[in-house]
């Protein structure tokens, strides 16, 4: 009897203090801002209503050649409701220490012209608030385990999928998901 009373009390208290799960959390991806690679404000709210592909990148990584695929994806969808954002990070010690060096490397080596942020921490206690929000609301699958981890966000600002470093940006599963997200509001 005491157990059932305690359990009932627990359920009542749990209802009074909801957790910050995806269903009860009020923020979405468009509530965050970064500094862009040139030091200017990059507010995700400017991309409301667009599909976002957010990728933590690094210039000296075994996956750095994925910049070519990221640029292909950007070229394919940049005229649609789609934004690709590269987030340089040195969390895995494979990035230049200066934004100007990153920008020069990306532009000269891969012709990158999609939006990029300044150097950003993407994991741990010092992670950017966007990454803390993603982990809190969508779980550890959003935490980059290495460079070129991809987070796909729908037009409402919700994480819909994540892709590991080994998944190429031009992979069928990423392209199909982007196509579906873009098409879902056309019909």
Q: What does the pLDDT look like over 149-171, one tens digit per residue?
A: 999 999 999 999 999 999 999 99
Spot the catalytic one: 61, 112, 151, 152.
Answer: 61
State the Cα–Cα distance between residues 150 and 77, nearest whole angstrom: 16
State the Cα–Cα distance between residues 171 and 87, nearest whole angstrom: 20
- The whole-angstrom distance between residue 82's C-alpha and the CA centroid of its chain comes to 13
Average pLDDT over residues 10-19: 41
Q: What does the pLDDT look like over 17-49, one tens digit per residue?
A: 444 444 445 899 999 999 999 999 999 999 999
Q: CATH classification of 33-183, choosing from 3.40.30.10, 3.90.1150.10, 3.40.718.10, 3.40.640.10?
A: 3.40.30.10
- Judge whether 61 counts as a catalytic residue: yes
- Please state the pTM of the whole predicted model: 0.85
Between 19 and 140, the higher pLDDT residue:
140
- Please say if the pLDDT value at position 5 is more than 90: no
Q: What does the pLDDT look like over 99-122, one tens digit per residue?
A: 999 999 999 999 999 999 999 999
State the Cα–Cα distance between residues 1 and 31, nearest whole angstrom: 47
């Amino acid at each position: 009897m005491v157990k059932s009373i305690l359990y009932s009390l627990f359920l009542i208290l749990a209802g009074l203090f909801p957790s910050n799960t995806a269903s009860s959390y009020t923020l979405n991806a468009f509530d965050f801002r970064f500094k862009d690679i040139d030091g200017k404000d990059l507010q995700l709210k400017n991309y409301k209503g667009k599909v976002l592909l957010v990728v933590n990148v690094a210039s000296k990584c075994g996956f750095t050649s994925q910049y070519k695929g990221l640029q292909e994806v950007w070229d394919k969808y940049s005229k649609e409701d789609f934004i690709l954002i590269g987030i340089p990070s040195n969390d895995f010690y494979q990035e230049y220490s200066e934004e100007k060096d990153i920008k020069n490397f990306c532009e000269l080596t891969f012709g990158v012209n999609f939006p990029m942020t300044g150097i950003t921490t993407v994991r741990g206690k010092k992670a950017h608030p966007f990454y803390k929000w993603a982990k809190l609301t969508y779980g550890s699958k959003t935490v980059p385990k290495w460079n070129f981890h991809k987070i796909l966000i729908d037009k409402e600002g919700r994480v819909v999928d994540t892709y590991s470093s080994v998944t190429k940006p031009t992979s069928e599963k990423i392209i199909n998901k982007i196509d579906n997200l873009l098409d879902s509001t056309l019909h």
